[in-house]
Chain A
């Protein structure tokens, strides 16, 4: 689906940026959107490999169901948090992250003297942009939910960068990476709940 590649890349980068900058509801919806778009991009490279896409989406779906916080789907709150003005304000409040995403996108479009020069430009750009957006909070954030989301963004970026050079993963690797996505979401969610429970008790 070459025609859809560019819009998907832009949506993935935007979703990745919102995933690390938004508050709870917006961030989780952004993570779900990122998972969908990055998986579609990753596995569109090899059309025969539908099993990889199914495995990835199933694993992330399970992980998200297990990790989503309670009261996420309160209709009014969801509408408020996902309003365009809220999203724009969120991005405006985090200019460094937005600048990083744009810089990553531009950097990704420039081929370097590595085998990546023969790789897919769009996937490479998306991969590097997501890595640039995800890595700083992954390294520095003290909040578990935010770190979990940053880990998902980083992993999605890593896999997109890899796919841009080597093509889609084989089914076994797709299963391992899909399980990894689910594992990060489930373990992150469980750790966050446990720490908040312990702090409440205290």
Chain B
């Protein structure tokens, strides 16, 4: 590797290097503080928090673009705007969550978060092929396995088992989609093939299935709920929200490219089916969140509601491939669910229970947690109205079905009501559990980071902050999607409408970004030569 390539390699692999260094750091801390085990756990937690924050800073400094693109032979590691932004925000979010979680396993959870973030970054940096999707799916499996380790809990083991089965089934779906996609170009010139629109529908189904199953869209919500019930919150958020969101960015880019490559309407009932699944998921998640009394389950159902929006976004990407709303809503939804996860872990740590009946008056006793939940509600409602809310409304308009749109709006309002219910319980008279719980003074590092982190993440999720991961220029176009000349995946290769050098909206929660049709970091499925 030449001198010039070395810093590029470090920048391209920075999150992975940070994750690997944690493998040395934590044992070193344990060795250093050997005789004082609690002390060692605290130091290990601080160590991984520093690594998480360093990862975030590294992502901000590295940015994305040609200068960060590493070439090893024929292999390109191309840091993408969405990948770097996810690392930037993920480092901060998980550092705060690990701090709020405390305990003996907090250091391990921090390591898991580091590896999860590294996997997301690497997957979004690989420009095309089956590798990014495979990497994310297997990272999801590995993380759920690691997060569930540590004790012989049957429920945790069964949640991982479910994940193993899901991942093993999704990869064939991706390969079949890849094969069908390749056939589209042949179909345009050879009548013996199925029509391009029907092949595109099959491809869309296969690719969407990855998003629908991984994100937990109805009727595949069971996996997500089990994950939130059984796994620690860092594992739940990574496996149930962050990795599916990274997959969503890939899938949205793929669907946009697919839809823009065919002139006829997509065959089958793919778009109405995905729209319906999205609306049903929102309603189902919201109603379930209102009916349950366990805050772990409620946060799980809020995550299901977010999955509903991802499905609606996938349908919108198929309906209107040049519209950027579908990719804009991925990041806010992910951050909002993470905020609920942060609040959940903090409340569970403080009161040792997740039952609403035992949590009366929690907000009066620990006002920092109250601020965290308020921030989460503001993020969920996307207030004050701005780019995120506009993008959601745009998705509903693109869907073109007023009934679906009405159901989605009702579902979102009910989700907000379910979250407000949690907050109101915090202001009821204090239960015995809450009254007897040991609390810490407001002025300490963990409480301060909880409050500051919540406000920062809520600001990002609600669209107040113009966050950009700082690229040096637009990313190089992904390779051609099809060998056929008749099949031109225009959006992925030649951005034509409203050219912009800014990062694409998928990479940002900024209300100021200019529209771009380039599905950045899309890791498109393309046939091997």
Contact = CB atoms under 8 A, between A and B. Distances in A.
Interface of A: 113-116, 131, 135, 138-139, 144, 147-148, 150-151, 154-155, 157-159, 161-162, 165-173, 175-177, 179-180, 183-184, 186-188, 190-191, 194-195, 197-199, 201
Contacts of A188: 164
A19 to B, nearest CB: 14
Contacts of B156: 194
Given A171-B75, A187-B145, A195 B134 contact: no
A181 B58 CA distance: 31
B168 A198 contact: no
B528 A167 contact: yes
A90 B181 CA distance: 40
Interface stretch (B97-105, B124-132, B447-455, B501-509): B124-132
Given A154-B172, A168-B528, A173-B131, 18 more contacts: A113-B192, A147-B161, A147-B165, A158-B172, A162-B178, A165-B179, A172-B75, A173-B130, A176-B131, A177-B134, A183-B142, A183-B145, A187-B141, A187-B142, A187-B164, A188-B164, A191-B164, A195-B154
B75 A195 contact: no
B129 A161 contact: no
11 contacts: A115-B182, A135-B169, A151-B164, A170-B75, A172-B126, A177-B130, A177-B131, A183-B142, A184-B168, A187-B164, A188-B164
B280 interface: no
B193 A113 contact: yes
A166 to B, nearest CB: 4
A150 B193 CA distance: 32
A151 B152 contact: no
A181 to B, nearest CB: 9
Contacts of A165: 179, 182, 527
A173 B134 contact: yes
A198 B151 CA distance: 9
Contacts of A195: 154, 157-158, 161
Contacts of B75: 170-172
B141 A162 contact: no
A199 B154 contact: yes
B161 A191 contact: yes
A118 B161 CA distance: 38
Interface of B: 73-75, 126, 129-131, 134-135, 137-138, 141-142, 144-145, 148-149, 152-154, 156-158, 160-161, 164-165, 167-169, 171-172, 175, 178-180, 182-183, 186, 192-194, 527-529
A151 B172 contact: no
Interface of chain B, helix or strand or loop or mixed? helix
Contacts of A169: 130-131, 528
A190 B179 contact: no
A116 B138 CA distance: 27
A20 to B, nearest CB: 13
A114 to B, nearest CB: 5
A152 to B, nearest CB: 8
B194 A113 contact: yes
A179 B145 contact: no
Contact of A194 (B142, B152, B172): B152
A114 B161 contact: no
Contacts of A161: 175, 179
Contacts of A147: 161, 164-165
Contacts of B194: 113
Interface of chain A, helix or strand or loop or mixed? helix
B519 to A, nearest CB: 20
Given A114-B180, A172-B75, A173-B129, A198 B175 contact: no
Contacts of B74: 170-171
A165 B158 CA distance: 36
B145 A190 contact: yes
B138 A183 contact: yes
Nearest to B184: A115
B168 A151 contact: yes
A26 to B, nearest CB: 21
Contact of B134 (A176, A197, A198, A199): A176
Given A115-B182, A155-B171, A197-B152, A184 B193 contact: no
A191 B145 contact: yes
Contact of B179 (A115, A150, A168, A198): A115
B174 to A, nearest CB: 9
Contacts of A166: 178, 182, 527-528
B179 A180 contact: no
Given A115-B182, A180-B138, A183-B142, A158 B528 contact: no
B184 to A, nearest CB: 10
A180 to B, nearest CB: 4
Nearest to B77: A172
A113 B73 CA distance: 36
Contacts of A155: 168, 171
A115 B186 contact: yes
A148 B164 contact: yes
Contact of A186 (B145, B158, B186): B145
Given A138-B165, A167-B528, A194-B157, A201 B152 contact: yes
Contacts of B527: 165-166
Contacts of B149: 190, 194
Contacts of B183: 114-115
Nearest to A144: B161
